[in-house]
Amino acid sequence: MLVSAKEMLDKAKAGHYGVGQFNINNLEWTKAILLTAQEMNSPAILGVSAGAGKYMCGFKTVAAMVKAMDADLGITVPIALHLDHGTYEASKECVAAGFTSIMFDGSSYDIAENIEKTKELVKLAHDNGMSIEAEVGAIGGEEDGVVGMGECADPDECKQIADLGIDMLAAGIGNIHGVYPENWAGLQFDVLEKIQEKTGTMPLVLHGGTGIPDEQVKRAITLGVSKINVNTECQLVFTAATREYIEAGKDKVGKGFDPRKVLAPGVQAIQDKVKEKILLFGSDGKA
Ligand code: 13P
């Protein structure tokens, strides 16, 4: 059932658990996540980055595929179709395309411009029955080979953005996208505590879910994180399982070359990973 992310995240915040945002790349990815959420009786958020959206032919194609798949598979758990790190333009495009949730990432603007643009998009999203995520403090990660460490958000700026009526807030607390470097300092819980104090009931979002030790994820949830984004980890397990299939020569046995067979181990690996994360975040049985 496609819905805005608001209700599932407000419930998660009140119930002290997290909802996973799992990014999608294609039909197999989407099917794997939908079926696992249904099996676990868990809400879930399908994240779509601009790059993945373009790869899948555009946001309209993505929205049409997800809506039809949700119906064809008879999915009854709450599922949000969410733009990940959207620009101002992409946010508007996804509203028109029929997403149920958007993230406007205005973290590269100064705070005044971030506030101005976020405010405008809050109205647009809410007028269309959609939820909206905003960001304060850059989330680091690899960009053109340079790994940024992630800038911690200013708790006062978080409050200013939260007060605009957004539904969830991504605030940098030392988290980065992709695999964490050896010398990563870990999540900055003192910053998270201050953000939580200032923003109260606002569901907080932890980006860069790949590779954060389970104990840190659990602690972040107790300190107000209600949405955890996972992308790279599903890509890693999908690719490893596919490599294993090919390296074992299984594509050369019988009709092992059939794409449905070639992709099956990778899909299973995504399902296992999503299941593991749903259990870690505590959203199983919470649909
Ligand atoms: P990872 O790729 O590190 O899991 O991060 C995902 C994410 O935060 C998407 O916005």
- What ligand 1 atom has the least distance to the C-alpha of 232? 2
Q: Which of 23, 102, 239 to mutate to test the pocket of ligand 1 (most atoms within 8 A of CB)?
A: 23
Within 8 A by CB and 6+ apart from 255, the residues are 261
219 Cα to the center of ligand 1, angstroms:
18
- What ligand 1 atom has the least distance to the C-alpha of 103? 10
What pLDDT score was predicted for residue 140?
A: 73
What pLDDT score was predicted for residue 144?
A: 47
- What ligand 1 atom has the least distance to the C-alpha of 84? 10
Residue 64 pLDDT exceeds 80:
yes
Domains located in the chain, CATH noted: 6-281 (3.20.20.70)
The 10s digit of each residue's pLDDT in 2-51 is 999 999 999 999 999 999 999 999 999 999 999 999 999 999 999 999 99
Angstrom distance (rounded) from CA 244 to CA 126: 46
- Mean pLDDT score of the chain: 95
Active site residues: 84
Q: Which of 139, 230, 277 to mutate to test the pocket of ligand 1 (most atoms within 8 A of CB)?
A: 230
The 10s digit of each residue's pLDDT in 113-163 is 999 999 999 999 999 999 999 999 877 776 445 556 677 999 999 999 999
